[in-house]
Structure 1
Amino acid sequence: MEKKFVANKAVIVNQQGKILMLRDAGHADHQNLKGELSFPGGRMDHDETPYEALAREIEEETGLTAEHLTIGRPFHVRRWGVGGDVVNEPIIGIFYLCFLKGDPEIRLSQEHNEIAWIDPKQPLPAELQTDSMKLLMASFQDQTGSVQVADEEIKAREGFGLIQLFTGNGKGKTTAALGEVMRVVGAGKRAAVIFFDKGGEHYMERAVLEKLGVPWFAFGRDRIDPVTGRFDFTITDEDRRLGVEGLAKAKALVESDIYDLLVLDEVNSSTDLGILRTEDVLVLLDTKPDRTELVLTGRNAPQAFLDRAHLVTEMRLRKHYFYSGVKAREGLDY
C-alpha cells in the first residue's frame, strides 16, 4: 500500500532579502542527504495542522519561534520521495513564505551543521542548479516581486548581443517582440523575423514589416481551416519538417552577421510542442555572434531557454475577452 507524507517547508527571508537554507549533517536516516542544502521544515504528524507542524519543525531545527518570524501563506508545492522513491513513498512538500523579525540567533539542531543564506537576486549556486529548485525560485519571484540579475559577465555592457525572452499565457508576446523591431529600425539598425508554426496569410503585422523593410520568413502549416475556421491543434511530421527548415534559416541569418536583431517568434511554444528540439535551438543560442540580439517568444519556454536569457518577461493572463465569446479580431489579435 502506498504511503503518503506531507512535509511543510519554510522559505525564511531575512531583512536583507536573503533566504535561509540548512546543510544536512547526515545523521540517522539522513545519511543519503549528507551535505545537501534544504529548507527548514519536515513531515506533519497526523494530529497537527500544517501551521502547527511547520512552527514545530522550524523551532526544532533553528530555535526560531513565533516571536522571531511571521509564517505566511503557502506559495509552492512539490513532490519527492522517501529515499528517492517517488512511486511508493511519495512526499508532498508545501512551501511557506516566512519573514524574519530583526536579526535573531539561529541555533541548529543535530540534523544540520551549517547555515547558508541564498540571495534570490543572484544566480543559484551550482549545487542548487536543479529543475525543482529553479521552479521554486520562479514561484518565489512571483510572490515577492524580486528580480534576478541576468549575468555578471554582462555587467555594464552596452550595445546589442543579449537574449530577450517573452513567455506566459497572456497576450502580448509577439507584440512586444515587434515593438523591439520598430525600435531597432528607428535606430537605423537591421532586424529580421522568423515566424515558427505560423503559416497562412492571417497575420497583419507582416504587411508592416514589409513597409519597414524588415525581412520575415514564416515556417508552418496554415492551421486555420478555410471552410470551418477551426484551428488544427495536431502536431505532424510536416510541422517538424517545417520547424527544422525555420531553424536552419535562423542559423543562416545569424551566421550572416548582418542583422542586429533576430526575432524567433513562437520558438518557445514550438519547442514545447515537439516541433523543434531543445538541443537544436540551444546550439543557435550558444553560437550566435556576440553582437546579435535575439528575441524569443511563445508560451511554455523551456527552462534551458530561461537560463540563457538575459531578460525574461512573463505575460500573465488575468482577464481576456475571448472567454466572453469575442473572437480573434483582425488588426488587433493577428
Structure 2
Amino acid sequence: MRLEKGLVQVYTGNGKGKTTASIGLGVRAYGNGLKVIMIQFLKSGVTGELNVLNNLGENFKVYRFEKEKDFTWNLTEEQKEELKKEIAEGFDFAKKVVKENMCDMLILDEVMASVNGGYIKEEDVVKLIESKNENMELVLTGRNVPKAIADKSDLITEMKDIKHYFNKGIPARKGIEF
C-alpha cells in the first residue's frame, strides 16, 4: 500500500500526548502495511513505547542519535555542543529519509523543541517539508510550533494542559509517562 497523498501533521502545545499521538498514527500506518520511520530528538532514556516499537521489525523503526544526557537546562557548554552535533546528525538522517523516500510516514518527535532550542534552523524544517515526496506523511511534534512551519502544515493539533497531576507533585510514572 502507498499513500495517495501525504500530508504534514503537527502535534503541539503544553499538554501531554504529542508523542503518544504520533506513535498512535505510526502504529495505525504500520498496521495497514505502511513503512514508518520515527526520529526522536532530545530523548535518550529507555521508554515502554521504545521497547515495543523496536520489536515491530523493519517496517517501524525508531532512531535516536543522542547519548543519554540530563535535561538541556542542566548541561554544560561542552555537553550542549555535543548535543548540537548529535541533533544535527539526526536531522541529516531525516533529510536522507526524505530525499531517498525511505518510508511512507516520517515522524520527527520533538523537532519543535530542537528548533526552539536553537539546535535545528526553522528554515531547514520548512525546506524538509517542501522537499518531501507527495506520498509521504510527515508528522512533527513539540511545543511552540514556529509560524513558518505552521504555515506549511495541513493539520495542527494543540494539546492543552487543562489539569495535570504533575501540579499536585505526582512525578512522571514508569508505564504511563515513559
Normalised by the length of structure 1, the TM-score is 0.49
Contact 1:197 1:221 in 2 (8 A): no
Contact 1:306 1:312 in 2 (8 A): yes
Give the match for residue 258 of structure 1. Answer: 102
Give the match for residue 114 of structure 2. Answer: 270
Distance 1:232 1:264 in 2: 19
Residue type of the alignment partner of 2:8: I
Distance 1:203 1:324 in 2: 23
Contact 2:98 2:131 in 1 (8 A): no
Distance 1:266 1:160 in 2: 24
Greater fraction strand = 1
Distance 1:183 1:160 in 2: 16
Normalised by the length of structure 2, the TM-score is 0.89
Aligned pairs for 1:173-322 (under 5 A) are 173-199=18-44, 201-213=45-57, 214-224=60-70, 231-234=71-74, 236-322=80-166
Aligned pairs for 1:1-334 (under 5 A) are 159-199=4-44, 201-213=45-57, 214-224=60-70, 231-234=71-74, 236-334=80-178
Identity value in percent: 41
Residue type of the alignment partner of 1:267: V
Residue type of the alignment partner of 2:27: M
Number of positions where the alignment pairs a residue of Structure 1 with one of Structure 2: 170
Distance 1:234 1:276 in 2: 20
Gaps of 5+ in 2: none
CA drift of 1:174 comes to 0.3
How big is each residue's C-alpha offset from its partner over 1:46-82, in whole Å with a ceiling of 9 and x where there is no partner? Answer: xxxxxxxxxxxxxxxxxxxxxxxxxxxxxxxxxxxxx
Say what the alpha-carbon RMSD is for the aligned residues.
1.5
CA drift of 1:232 comes to 4.4
**CA distance 1:311–1:193, change in 2 (3 Å):** same
- The structure whose Rg is larger is 1
Residue type of the alignment partner of 1:180: L
